[in-house]
């Protein structure tokens, strides 16, 4: 439909029809088995159900076609309904959780993963996903860190950008792609005390310098939607925050797409104490530029009256409605309201999608410890012990359209590699301590003590039989994600006790940690000969893990978040600001910025990860020692594989602005490149440093660079490297 036809359609619509295009209702109103049912079925009025512009939480080619046919038939202007779904890290083929994808440091792989997700979701009738999440996350207590790609603005920017490109492709009318939604705007990851939905209090400097960066970069790729966040920002709920939504998002970032609220966020402004009632909430959301009210009922109940009484102008309403109609038009829904739907089979998991998932899993795994080269495994007797040893629940709570039956467990993959007489498996214990609270409620097991006693005895026998034990431990999948804030970030006590008992057998122990957040691993580290983070790896988790354990692939994952010594350090991130009283390198001294009982930095820092081979960084250098704002400097290093196995390494470039009008971080990631080298091979890796990379939010409240000294590191983690120096003149 061309622009004139679309505007003619808008002008012919009644006020009620226009308002309802801005209303999103749960899929449970159309299909009882829809995943998300936050509003009781039947609470939505019939006229809203018939005219609402979009729905969410429902998928399936046959049922969506049936719903669409009925909807278009009953709509006065036969405008198609838009179906949205949380396709966060997979639809049918589930990839590692986003935090795990961040660990790959490979935007190209992440883009391919988003393309695969879009193809599967579109074949199931889905038009738009609520992804990527571009929130900067520095607090392991916050459960939704699992949905981010980490604590660094550059890494998050690259990953969010890659996901938008992968989901949307070059043309949204291509039915192999779906609309992307950059979320949660803004600063949701900075929730006070790591408690979900909580206030965030950030200076404009910190907001602009760190928290807005990934959103702004992703928006340059023209995502169809941006989602408002639940939190308030400096005392103003994001959903009613005109400074964030109009001045920054629309004017500065140039976003022209649809702004959608998160679930119920418009109505929640009443709870915040920012809006008096639903009418007031609808007014303030419209004034902030929110185009779609997701499931709060405020627009459907109040917006038409606000327009009729002049509180909201018809021009404001028309602008919002036109953005929604444009999105539907961009998707080609007016020409084909059934785009992408495969009525014969819907989406299917293919060998190609499994291979992509398997490769991504292997690239995401982060080897933290490997004492005496315990890994890769050799031809011995192995016992796979722990609640994750043969567990199909390897995806997160945000992969609800995936099917557990398609998941390959660690044990299933091990049986493909080893002869039956050389391996054994035992759960060893329950996943959780008794009466543990998760996002899905309290977990209670009848006869919990008796069950764990039995499982422990079986595990000890298996450990005594084996030469090496592979412990498969971690948090339950429902302990990370939305509404899973925690003040304890250790593995469950029942699992730690299992590890201690197995250690008594005196065998080599390889510990695999499944998690959606950084954890305290001090004790686990001491009890393990090798330690690897597996995240929540998804459908091909077992295969990808065994590829690393057996040495088929050398580990190359790097931590996208810092792992603390203790939760008391949170929020924790590598790019901290220097202090006037820095802690000496050789330990604490009186009256310095330090803890009495803990290191300042991370147990395992951002960018850290081991390999089965070794890489030497030779002759790091800069092409010049001075640079004007119109010139560039090339930073380069020769990387050589000095081990005996092929491997990949992420070469990381960090920069520090030494003296400036605002204190700058001790170092910041500026760029990175992942390369693969055969044994003995070497490659020169170079980065171009330009003036734009040196800009920051200055004391003059501007994005500018300032002349002076800069330090540069070319290295393989945020704590490594030899500092080089140049001056911006």
Would you please indicate which residues are annotated as catalytic (active-site) residues?
Answer: 262
> 3-state DSSP call for residue 48?
helix
Q: Where are the beta strands (DSSP E) in 221-281?
A: 225-228, 232-233, 236-237, 258-260
> What is the rounded CA–CA span in Å between residue 147 and residue 480?
9
> 3-state DSSP call for residue 113?
helix
For strands 708-715 and 724-728, give the pairing.
Answer: antiparallel
> What is the rounded CA–CA span in Å between residue 380 and residue 422?
7
SS3 content of the chain, % helix, strand, coil (to 5): 35, 20, 45
> What is the rounded CA–CA span in Å between residue 328 and residue 225?
12
Q: Which residue has the tokens 């103003």?
A: 236
Are 131 and 224 contacting, i.e. CB atoms less than 8 angstroms apart?
no
Name the β-bridge partners of 652: 672, 715
Measured at the CA of 602, the angle between CA 599 and CA 608, to 5 degrees, comes to 140
Which residue, among 195, 299, 179, has the nearest Cα to 239 in the 3D structure?
299
> What is the rounded CA–CA span in Å between residue 655 and residue 114?
30
> What is the rounded CA–CA span in Å between residue 92 and residue 606?
31
Q: Where are the beta strands (DSSP E) in 73-123?
A: 82-85
> 3-state DSSP call for residue 350?
coil
- Tokens at residue 696, please? 């920051």
> What is the rounded CA–CA span in Å between residue 661 and residue 131?
36
State the DSSP string of 407-467: PPPHHHHHHHHS-GGGEEEE--S-SS-TTEEETTEEE--TTHHHHHHHHHHHHHHHHHH-S
> What is the rounded CA–CA span in Å between residue 552 and residue 555?
10
- Tokens at residue 684, please? 């020169």
For strands 626-627 and 647-657, give the pairing.
Answer: unpaired
Are 448 and 432 contacting, i.e. CB atoms less than 8 angstroms apart?
no
Tell me the longest C-alpha to C-alpha distance in the chain.
Answer: 79
* Residue 507: half-sphere exposure toward Cβ, Cα within 13 Å: 26
- Tokens at residue 462, please? 């298996």
Which residue, among 620, 608, 635, has the nearest Cα to 717 in the 3D structure?
608
> 3-state DSSP call for residue 594?
coil
């Amino acid at each position: 439909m061309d622009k004139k036809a679309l505007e003619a359609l808008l002008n012919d619509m009644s006020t009620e029809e226009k308002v309802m295009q801005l209303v999103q209702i749960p899929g449970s109103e159309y299909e009882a088995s829809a995943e998300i049912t936050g509003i009781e079925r039947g609470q939505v009025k019939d006229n809203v159900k018939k005219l609402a512009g979009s729905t969410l939480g429902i998928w399936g080619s046959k049922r969506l076609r049936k719903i669409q046919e009925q909807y278009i038939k009953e709509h006065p202007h036969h405008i198609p309904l838009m179906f949205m779904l949380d396709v966060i890290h997979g639809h049918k083929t589930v990839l590692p959780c986003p935090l795990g994808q961040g660990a790959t440091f490979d935007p190209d792989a992440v883009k391919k993963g988003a393309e695969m997700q879009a193809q599967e979701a579109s074949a199931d009738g889905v038009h738009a996903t609520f992804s990527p999440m571009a929130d900067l996350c520095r607090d392991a207590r916050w459960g939704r860190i699992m949905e981010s790609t980490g604590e660094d603005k550059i890494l998050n920017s690259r990953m969010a950008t890659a996901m938008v490109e992968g989901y949307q492709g070059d043309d949204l009318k291509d039915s192999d792609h779906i609309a992307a939604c950059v979320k949660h705007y803004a600063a949701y990851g900075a929730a006070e005390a790591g408690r979900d939905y909580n206030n965030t209090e950030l200076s404009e400097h910190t907001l602009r310098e760190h928290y807005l960066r990934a959103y702004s970069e992703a928006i340059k790729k023209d995502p169809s939607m941006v989602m408002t966040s639940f939190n308030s920002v400096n005392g103003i709920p994001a959903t009613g925050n005109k400074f964030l939504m109009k001045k920054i998002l629309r004017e500065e970032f140039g976003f022209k797409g649809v702004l959608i609220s998160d679930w119920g966020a418009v109505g929640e402004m009443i709870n915040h104490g920012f809006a008096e009632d639903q009418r007031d909430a609808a007014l303030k959301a419209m004034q902030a530029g929110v185009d779609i009210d997701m499931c709060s009922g405020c627009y459907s109940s109040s917006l038409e009256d606000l327009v009729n009484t002049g509180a909201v102008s018809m021009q404001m309403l028309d602008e919002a409605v036109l953005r929604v109609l444009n999105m539907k038009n961009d998707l080609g829904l007016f020409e084909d309201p059934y785009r992408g739907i495969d009525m014969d089979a819907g989406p299917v998991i293919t060998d190609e999608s499994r291979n992509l998932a398997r490769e991504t899993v292997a690239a995401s795994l982060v080897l933290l410890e490997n004492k005496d080269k315990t890994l890769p495994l050799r031809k011995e007797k192995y016992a796979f012990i722990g609640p994750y040893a043969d567990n199909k629940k390897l995806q997160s709570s945000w992969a609800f359209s995936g099917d557990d039956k398609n998941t390959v467990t660690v044990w299933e993959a091990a049986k493909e590699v080893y002869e039956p007489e050389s391996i054994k498996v035992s759960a060893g214990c329950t996943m959780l301590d008794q009466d543990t609270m998760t996002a899905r409620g309290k977990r209670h097991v009848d006869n919990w003590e008796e069950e764990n006693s039995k499982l422990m005895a079986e595990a000890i026998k298996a450990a005594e039989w084996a030469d090496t034990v592979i412990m498969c431990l971690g948090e339950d999948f429902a302990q990370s994600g939305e509404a899973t804030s925690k003040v304890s970030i250790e593995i469950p006590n029942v699992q730690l006790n299992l590890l201690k008992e197995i250690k008594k057998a005196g065998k080599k122990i390889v510990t695999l940690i499944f998690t959606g957040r950084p954890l305290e691993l001090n004790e686990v580290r001491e009890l393990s000969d090798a330690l690897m983070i597996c995240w929540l790896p998804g459908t091909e988790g077992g295969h990808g893990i065994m590829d690393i354990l057996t040495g088929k692939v050398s580990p190359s994952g790097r931590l996208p978040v810092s792992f603390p010594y203790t939760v008391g350090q949170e929020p924790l991130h590598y790019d901290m600001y220097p202090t006037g009283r820095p802690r000496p390198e050789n330990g604490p001294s009186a009256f310095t910025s330090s803890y009495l009982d803990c290191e300042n930095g991370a147990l395992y820092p951002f960018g850290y990860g081991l390999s089965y081979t070794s890489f030497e960084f030779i002759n790091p250098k800069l092409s010049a020692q001075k640079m004007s704002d119109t010139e560039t400097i090339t930073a380069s290093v020769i990387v050589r594989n000095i081990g005996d196995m092929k491997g990949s390494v992420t070469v990381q470039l960090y920069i520090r602005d030494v003296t400036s009008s605002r204190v700058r971080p001790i170092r910041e990631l500026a760029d990175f490149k992942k390369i693969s080298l055969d044994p003995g091979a070497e490659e020169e890796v170079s980065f171009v440093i330009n003036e734009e990379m040196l800009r920051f939010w200055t004391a003059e409240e501007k994005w500018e660079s300032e002349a002076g000294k800069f330090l540069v590191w070319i290295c393989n983690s945020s704590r490594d490297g030899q500092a080089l120096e140049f001056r911006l003149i």
